[in-house]
Amino acid sequence: MEEWVGERWHRFIKGAADRSFAAAAVALPEVSEAVALLYRAAGGAAGTRVVPAADMRIGGPRSWLQRLAGSGLRAALPRLDEETLALPPRIALFADRALNRDLYLWLAALAAAFVPSGHWAADNLAATRLALQRCPGLRPRWERLREAHLAQRRADALKLPMQQQAAEQRLQALLLAGDEAAESALSAQEAAGLAPVWLWLQALPPELAVAAHSAKHQPRAGHAAPPQPPDADLAQAQKRRRTRQAKPASERAPLLLSSKAESLQSWSEHIPLDRGQDDEPDDEQAQAAADDMEQLTLSRDGSAVAARVKFDLDLPSASADDLPLGEGELLPEWDWKRQRLLPGHCQVQTLVTRPGASPLQPSAALRRTARQVRRRLELLRAAPKWQRGCSEGETLDLDAWVRHLGAVQAGGEPEPQVYARRQRGERSLATLLLADLSLSTDAYANNDARVIEVIRDALFVFGEALHACGDPFAMLGFSSVRRSQVRIQHLKSFEENWSGPVTARLGAIKPGYYTRMGAAIRLASKRLEQRPERQRLLLLLTDGKPNDLDVYEGRWGVEDTREAVLEARRAGLQPFCLSIDAEAPDYLPHIFGRQGWARVVRPSELPMRLAGVYAQLTR
């Protein structure tokens, strides 16, 4: 009974102390597409992800109800770092819902112009001026937001101590006019005690950014970097937290008493106890503790434990592994931070299944699907092709007509080439199919089949259809374990016939390791470039985003894969990606372009969708 009463009281007092406008609230998922579009259109980095922000400690006055309820101490503030734009999961700051939505859009435009230099106020003022120059249509919305926010700040300023009231007045002067004198007079310490400026971004301090980057990209000796959490846990796993470095116990003062015996236990300061060899770490408890902490304190003790052995044990021995073809080769990788290729950065090794594997025995249903796809592609091959951009023809080419209108308005192209006509011509086409064989393909795509089995079926159906059509094609699979072991699985070369040994290799494919997609695309492009055909397709089948154990996780992998795709296009190839990942719309448009990818909602439909994409690209 006491717990029930306490719970009801806590809920009541928190509701009474809540100063937000719940009826006018706007959630981030409602505007995430518009925010991402505006951010990129205003000049923001295309690889930056929009994620929910984590709560952090804030200043400002609190009412007696908030003090009684223990609220008003933390809020999700907008932040920008090198990989993410973190915005509040929910904005209910104003009574007008339109203003709350406009605040999301303004923060996106501000982030696109934001260049951190270490001075919070100056950086936001400069970004505000630049954002309004780039997006003049946002000025009326920004002025309405500013007036509404200043009205709230003026009402709360009377509750502040005298010293903070002076700082608040200088801050309001910055918001109102951007006065340079007020800017120089406002210190970071004074701003920390004031209420959040919701029209500005909170920048990560340089020393904390260095510590976070060091902790993320420099694992201890003998340790593998832990894989990042899956995108399904985006709201929790991708929170931006402050972090700092802690000294090991051996480097601290030996006679300093670190804690009192009578202190209550709580999640607080880092204690340098080496628990790296625990057999059963409690990940859920660690996640809950991290969510409750204001700062994550990181330390590095330099000792090596058994984590390295655990990763290496996953690799087969030389006698059990597939046979290597040649000595391998070194391929470059794109460093998106320095905007340059790192030559010879990845060791790529091609492997082939050991002899003796039995040919694939497809089911009757799969054979029926293969026959349907084969007939469809045979009809496509026999049909005449449309020649576009003609001065005369059977029908109007709408794309050419739009281009012609633009050229006329620009003062050029007096003779329109806006017609299309059908004609029969020699078919000159080569295709390389690249399949993702990473560890994630071991998961079940549906109740009946794993992802690896769906990919195997798609490869078989595609091979049967192209073999009947007579178009040259090749097949490769790939996975990786860091940059030193990018494994390319040889399935079929352009010179091989579609026969028992090839289908045996298809039947022997199994889930591998990680997904260093950029290196695999570069090797596939290198082989496809050697073909003499006029049209050369590079088709990629995948179930997730690029990732690996090292720095390839996150934006590095996305940007490297994007650069590999751009290199393929510059070489005259036509890359296209088919993905069964539900999160594919979040990153594939940046990597392959808006017209260079497609998502398969039902994985069981992958064979038919692959054939449909092939037919569309070769039409």
Query: What CATH number has the domain bearing residue 506?
Result: 3.40.50.410
463 found inside a domain: yes
User: In terms of domains, do 376 and 404 share one?
Assistant: no
Given 152, 179, 203, the domain boundary residue is 203
Residue 358 in domain? no
Calculate the average pLDDT of the chain.
Answer: 78
Place of tokens 């020393």: 207
DSSP secondary structure code for residue 56 in this structure = E
Residues 528, 418 share a domain: no
147 in a structural domain: yes
Structural contact between residues 32 and 585, judged by C-beta atoms closer than 8 angstroms: no
My answer on whether 389 and 478 are in the same domain is no
Q: First-to-last CA distance in the chain?
A: 72
Looking at the structure, do residues 579 and 518 belong to the same domain, yes or no? yes
Angle at the Cα of 599 from the Cα atoms of 596 and 603, rounded to 5 degrees: 140
Report helix, strand or coil for 42: coil
Answer with the residue of higher pLDDT: 8 or 529. 529
From the number of C-beta atoms within 10 Å of its C-beta (0-12, 13-18, 19+), residue 440 rates as buried
Name every residue whose Cβ is closer than 8 Å to that of residue 542 and which is 6 or more positions away in sequence. Answer: 436, 515, 517, 577, 578, 579, 580, 581
Q: Which of 30-34, 237-241, 453-457, 528-532 has the lowest mean pLDDT?
A: 237-241
Q: Are residues 474 and 397 in the same domain?
A: no
- The strand ranges marked E within 380-461 are 385-390, 395-396, 419-423, 429-436
Contact 139, 67 (CB under 8 A): no
pLDDT value of position 235:
42
Per-residue pLDDT, 339 = 87
Range of the domain at 240: 217-244+295-313
Question: Is the Cβ–Cβ distance between 124 and 110 less than 8 Å?
Answer: yes
- Read off the tokens for 469: 């059509």
Which one has a higher pLDDT value, 105 or 165?
Answer: 105
Angle between helices 120-134 and 97-113 (to 10 degrees): 100
Q: Higher-confidence residue: 13 or 134?
A: 134
Q: Cα(512)–Cα(525) distance, rounded to whole angstroms?
A: 21
Residues 6 or more apart whose CB falls under 8 angstroms from that of 156 comprise 60, 61, 195
Please name the residues in contact with 95: beta carbons below 8 A apart, sequence gap of 6 or more.
21, 24
Note the pLDDT of residue 430.
Answer: 93
Is residue 276 domain-resident?
no
Verify that 395 and 309 share a domain, yes or no: no
Q: Are residues 439 and 525 in the same domain?
A: yes
Work out the pLDDT band at 296, boundaries 50, 70, 90.
Answer: low
**Is a pLDDT exceeding 80 seen at residue 36?**
yes
Q: Are 404 and 375 within one domain? A: no
Query: What value does the mean pLDDT take over residues 327-333?
Result: 92
Numbers of helices and strands, H then E, in the chain? 21, 21
572 and 438 together in one domain? yes
User: What does the angle CA 104 – CA 106 – CA 107 come to, to the nearest 5 degrees?
Assistant: 65
Per-residue b/e over 63-94, b at no fewer than 16 CB within 10 Å?
eebbeebebbeebbbbbbebbbbbbbebbbbb
**pLDDT of 252 above 60:** no
Amino acid at 481: V
Mean pLDDT, rounded, for 515-532:
95
How many distinct structural domains can be found in the chain?
4
CA dist 394 and 127 (Å) reads 54
DSSP state of 618: T
CA–CA distance, 233 with 155 (Å, rounded to integer): 39
Mean pLDDT over residues 12-39, rounded?
82
Tens of pLDDT, residue by residue over 202-247, are 855 444 444 444 444 444 343 344 344 334 344 444 444 444 444 4
Structural domain includes residue 325: no
Residues 447 and 397 in one domain: no
* Residue closest to 227 by CA, chosen among 212, 241, 216: 216
- The lowest-confidence range among 105-109, 135-139, 285-289 is 285-289
In a domain, 178, yes or no: yes
- Do 551 and 562 reside in the same domain of the chain? yes
* Over residues 347-367, mean pLDDT: 87
What gap in Å lies between CA 216 and CA 552, rounded to an integer? 11
Choose between 88 and 186: higher pLDDT: 88
For β-strands 84-87 and 49-52, DSSP reports them as parallel
> Regarding predicted confidence, which is higher, 243 or 459?
459
At residue 426, the pLDDT reads 64
Average pLDDT, stretch 260-274?
51
In a domain, 288, yes or no: no
Predicted confidence band at 292 (pLDDT cuts at 50, 70, 90)? low
How long is the chain?
619
**DSSP SS3 for 101:** helix
Mean pLDDT of 109-135: 88
Q: Which two tokens stand for residue 76?
A: 């999700």
Specify the higher pLDDT residue, 417 or 221.
417
Q: Please report whether residue 234 resides in a domain.
A: yes
How does strand 385-390 pair with strand 340-352?
Answer: unpaired
Mean pLDDT of 309-319: 56
In 287-319, which positions are buried (b, 16+ CB within 10 angstroms) versus exposed (e)?
eeeeeeeeeebebbeeeebebeeeeeeeeeeee
Please name the amino acid found at residue 446.
N
Within this chain, do residues 369 and 472 fall inside the same structural domain, yes or no?
yes
Q: Say if residue 457's pLDDT is above 60.
A: yes
How far is CA 483 from each of CA 4, 19, 479, 586, rounded to the nearest angstrom?
56, 51, 11, 25
pTM score? 0.66
